[in-house]
Amino acid sequence: MILDKNYKGLEFKNGRYFYDGNIETTENLEIKLDNLLEVAGYIEAGWSIKASGSIEASGSIEASGYIEAGGSIKASGSIEAGWSIKASGSIEASGSIEASGYIEAGGSIIAGESIEAGEFIKAGESYGISAALYITAQDTISCGLKIFAGICTWKNTEDSDKTITCSKLLSGTVEYGILKETGEAKKKITIDGKEIEISLESFDALKRSLEEGR
């Protein structure tokens, strides 16, 4: 499904595109707009969401595969992807931010609840990572500035609510939270009938290379 400036019901006002409703498809969703897209409801795709600019939803933003934006990604609900979430700008959700793969932003990563990644979490070199609850990455965490976890104001937090778990903190300073490094994460793959272990970072690079070669 392609959403461009001719999409039915789409309005352009105050320098941004606005859609008063939900955007939902069982297919891939490609957003081809040169300005911010603001959606009054949620955005959901059967596989991928790929936007040339920034996207913002009053509800959640969800995809079974990946979510990618040339600008920022912002949701008043949660942001969830079955594989990865990547934005050239910031990634921000009032709820949780979750991906089975990696979460990567050129700007900051901010969640009103938790941040969870099956691989790495990476924010921009001049930005930080903040979550009202815990931050968990099976692989590494990195950013340029500070990291905050468990800063919620709506309940009494326990240690589990403010733990930053990763294989290794590559860069950034934990300003608030409890850092728990688990050691290098591994992924098992089978080559010529033999099972070997490689780092999640290497696995991700291999997967990207295979996908680009299709």
Mean pLDDT of 34-58: 96
Q: How confident is the model at residue 190 (pLDDT cuts 50, 70, 90)?
A: confident
Yes or no: say if 83 and 104 are a contact pair by the CB < 8 Å rule: no
Cα torsion 45, 48, 54, 56 to 10°: value is 30
Higher pLDDT, 150 or 194: 150
- At 179, list the tokens: 């850092």
Tokens 């990634």 locate to 91
What does the pLDDT read at residue 212? 63
Which helix (H) or strand (E) segment is 179 a member of?
strand 178-181
pTM: 0.86
Mean pLDDT value across residues 123-137? 97
pLDDT digits (tens, 9 = 90+) for 134-164: 999 999 999 999 999 999 999 998 999 999 9
**CA distance linking residue 120 with residue 118, whole number of Å:** 7
Q: How confident is the model at residue 199 (pLDDT cuts 50, 70, 90)?
A: low
The pLDDT of 43-69, averaged and rounded, is 97
Which range is least confidently modeled, 66-75, 106-115, 121-130, 194-203? Answer: 194-203
Based on DSSP, count helices (H) and strands (E) in the chain, helices before strands: 1, 29
Q: Which are the contacts of 175, defined by CB distance < 8 A and separation ≥ 6? A: 128, 146, 147, 148
b/e burial code for range 4-18 (CB count within 10 A of at least 16 → b): eeebeebeeeeeebb
pLDDT of residue 192: 72
Q: What is the dihedral of CA 16, 21, 22, 23, to 10 degrees?
A: -50
Amino acid (one-letter) located at 157: T
pLDDT at res. 84: 96
Residue 169 is given by DSSP the state B
The pLDDT value recorded for residue 43 is 98
Mean pLDDT within 47-66: 97
pLDDT value at residue 204: 64
H or E segment and range at residue 48: none
Find the mean pLDDT for residues 51-61.
97
pLDDT at 210: 65
